[in-house]
Every structure is written in C-alpha cells, then in structure tokens.
Structure 1
Amino acid sequence: MRTNRTVLGWVLAIACAAGAVIALADIQTPVRVILTPLFLLVVPGAAVVGLLRDRDPLAALTVGAAASLVINVLLAEAMLLFDAWSPRAGVATVAVLGGFMWVLRSLYRGNGSLHTEEGARSK
C-alpha cells in the first residue's frame, strides 16, 4: 500500500511539473488543458496538506482543497484588478507560493534528523 502511494505521488509530481513547464514555455499541446490546471489545483493544496500532516486526513484534504481554490481565485482577482492578466505569471506565482510553503514545512518539520525541543530534553 505504501509503495502505491509513493508511485502515485511521484506520477502526480511529474505531471504537475510538466504542466508548469508547458505553461511557462507556452507550448501549445493538447495535454496543456489537463496538466496546467492540475498543477494549479494540486500544488497549493499539497503544500497546505503538508503543513497539516498531524491532523485528521480528511480534514487536512478538505482544508488543502479549499486553500488551493482560495489561492487561485485570489491570484486571478489580483491580476484582473491590476490589469496584469498573464497565465504564465499565474503559474509562476503559484509555483513560488508552493515552494515557499514547502520551505516552511521543511523548516517547521525538519528533515527527520533534527531533534525537537521535547526530544532533546528527554535524552
């Protein structure tokens, strides 16, 4: 079961990366219609779910899906408000926000080799 989740995660990550590259390079292909929205919906949600790892899985997925929609809608509204509509800039902004949340998660959680304050006290 763990192997299937890992494989699915890697396939989804590769598909999202391909969607971002296709949008940023402005490549006209039929799969762009599938991969670019996949990137825009999955990356912010996955980043938020990563921050909520110790919570109830259903609650974390629900909050991640809602956060993904909110981030995309607010980004689209901001681009329309400032008359700066650009799909490429939208994809780049979502990528930067997703990367920022990944860095936050890495700093907050650590890479597994760092000791927490409670763990350091108990030793």
Structure 2
Amino acid sequence: MGGLGAVLALVDSASPLRGPFTLFFLLAAPAAAIAAALRGLEPFGRGVAAVAGAVVVNMLVAQGMLAVHRWSGRGGIVAVTAISALILLLVLVRRLRGRTTRRRTP
C-alpha cells in the first residue's frame, strides 16, 4: 500500500487514493527502517519510537527542502525513500558485520 502511494505520487496520478497511500508510505517507510534498527526494545516501545522517528525524518526532510528553496512533493518522497533505504542498509551492514566477528572469535 505504501509503495503504491509512492508510485502514485511520483507519477502525479489524479487518483483519490494518492493522498492516503502516500501519507502511509511517508510514515511506514522510515518507521520500518527505524524499527529494524531498534531491534532490542520491547515491541510497544519500538513501535512508538519508530513512529516518532518517522515523523522526525519527514519533518527534517521538509525543513531541509524549504531551507534550500527546493520544495517539491516528488523530491520529498525520493528523499524519504533514500533516507529509509540508507537506515536499512546500515542496519543490514551492522548485522552482517556482527555475524562475521562472532564466527571468528571463539
């Protein structure tokens, strides 16, 4: 549903589902990435922290784009997607690095 919202916003569709699906994407993508990074927390705490982090990521992207006078809906979606993917990539690298160091030490 989130991916569909991002696609609808990027192609500038006139669908009435574009708004709700895009909003879901803008909250779910960073929240999922942050939740993956906070693996050690209790489930409720991880959910609350992930949603709060998603709101922070969206606000920082919006503030940054407004500060440099480059505001656009498409650019915001691309920026949020890139930040979420970077967070997930860093989590994956950290987990893979942790596995290799554990295997090497007795």
Same fold (TM over 0.5): yes
Counterpart of 2:34 in structure 1 is 48
2:58 is the counterpart of 1:72: yes
Task: Determine what percentage of the aligned residue pairs are the same residue.
Answer: 31
Q: Which structure 2 residues correspond to residues 1-123 of structure 1 after superposition, within 5 A?
A: 15-110=1-96, 115-122=99-106
Aligned length, in residue pairs: 105
> Cα distance, 1:119 vs. partner?
4.5
Normalised to the residue count of structure 2, the TM-score between the two structures is: 0.89
Separation in structure 2 between the aligned mates of residue 93 and residue 118 of structure 1, nearest angstrom: 35
Secondary structure of the residue aligned to 2:99 is coil
Separation in structure 1 between the aligned mates of residue 26 and residue 5 of structure 2, nearest angstrom: 9
Separation in structure 2 between the aligned mates of residue 55 and residue 120 of structure 1, nearest angstrom: 27
The one-character-per-residue Cα deviations of 1:9-39 (angstroms, maximum 9, x if unpaired) are xxxxxx1111111111111101001100000
The one-character-per-residue Cα deviations of 1:63-116 (angstroms, maximum 9, x if unpaired) are 111110111111111122222110000000011111111111111123xxx835
Normalised to the residue count of structure 1, the TM-score between the two structures is: 0.78
Q: Aligned partner of 1:121: which letter?
A: T
Structure 1 residue ranges, 4+ long, deviating more than 6 angstroms after superposition:
none
